[in-house]
Amino acid sequence: QQQVKQSPQSLIVQKGGISIINCAYENTAFDYFPWYQQFPGKGPALLIAIRPDVSEKKEGRFTISFNKSAKQFSLHIMDSQPGDSATYFCAAHNNAGNMLTFGGGTRLMVKP
């Protein structure tokens, strides 16, 4: 019940295209859903986050879509750039234990 399932594991997108990464969860106690971006050899960094009372949040080219009834959320990267090539992790926060549960990660490659 603590799992967060992330797909796809890897993704190749042409420059200018839309990158879409999906996550699904089971635990209804999750109350905060961040996305992290990790470049090779670096630690993950917070990219964007959403609370379950909001269906969408946009920051620049990055958008989170949240479907509470389906227990799914996704990251959309518009106008994808080679500099977006990185590993992306979705996560879900359990307020009861103040812990993040991470998805398995998606390795994104944006081809020029």
Partner 1 sequence: SQTIHQWPATLVQPVGSPLSLECTVEGTSNPNLYWYRQAAGRGLQLLFYSVGIGQISSEVPQNLSASRPQDRQFILSSKKLLLSDSGFYLCAWSRRLGYTFGSGTRLTVV
Binding positions for partner 1, rule: CB under 8 A: 32, 34, 36, 41-46, 49, 89, 93, 98-100, 102-105, 107
**C-alpha angle 93/98/103, rounded to 5°?**
35
* Pick 33 or 63: Cβ nearer partner 1: 33
Closest distance to partner 1 from the beta carbon of 9 (Å) = 9
From residue 79, alpha-carbon distances to 14, 20, 74, 108 in Å are: 9, 11, 16, 14
* Pick 16 or 97: Cβ nearer partner 1: 97
| Beta strand pairing call for 86-94 and 30-38 | antiparallel
* Pick 41 or 60: Cβ nearer partner 1: 41
